[in-house]
Amino acid sequence: MYCIVDVETTGGVKGPTRITEIAMFRHDGHEVVDSFHTLLNPDCPIPPFIRQLTGISNQMVANAPRFEAVAPDILRVSEGAIFIAHNVSFDFNFLKKELGWAGHPFLRRTLCTVRMSRKIFPGLPSYSLGKLCYSLDIPVSNRHRAHGDAAATVQLFEKLMANDRYQLIPKP
């Protein structure tokens, strides 16, 4: 199993920054078999730059669940799966931090679609998610929102698998 993830946050991984939105797609290597998506109340103000980038406002998350309430869903959807994200260290380390605060250790094998794209599709002009999707004719809607970016990463992952001539993508 694979678990394709995207998070939106109040800032960088270090420090007291929090997750404001998460989207997860559990994939069996052929298709999506489960998913989870929610806004999260970070219990702190969302900085103006982040609000402008994501469109997620303090009002949108005011009545959203807190991370601890959805931790069991996150663990369920990702259990036994290879954790996949575009720039995986950001998303994985954020979840590991938040789950640690909630009292849940988080260990998963990881796969980075940026690194894998460079190997399977060498020579493209950019490997940022938006530009990479444009180069590979992958539609992206709701850019810089967890669900839209994770859904695009699912399509990217499927293209990577279809073009993985040297079997670089690990099997779960």
pLDDT tens profile 90-109: 999 999 999 999 999 999 99
Convert the pLDDT of each residue in 119-139 to its tens digit.
Answer: 999 999 999 999 999 999 999
Tokens of 77: 């959807």
Q: Based on DSSP, count helices (H) and strands (E) in the chain, helices before strands.
A: 7, 5
Q: Answer yes or no: are the C-beta atoms of 24 and 70 closer than 8 Å.
A: no
Would the pLDDT of 172 be above 80?
no
Is 0.85 surpassed by the pTM of this model?
yes
Identify the three-state secondary structure at position 111: strand
Q: Which residue has the higher pLDDT, 13 or 27?
A: 27
Assign domain 2-162 to its CATH architecture: 2-Layer Sandwich (3.30)
pLDDT band at 144 (very low <50, low <70, confident <90, very high): confident
Q: Tell how strand 19-27 and strand 110-112 pair up.
A: unpaired
**What tokens does 106 get?**
């988080």
Residue 36: pLDDT band with limits 50, 70, 90? very high
Residue 166: CB partners within 8 Å, gap ≥ 6? none
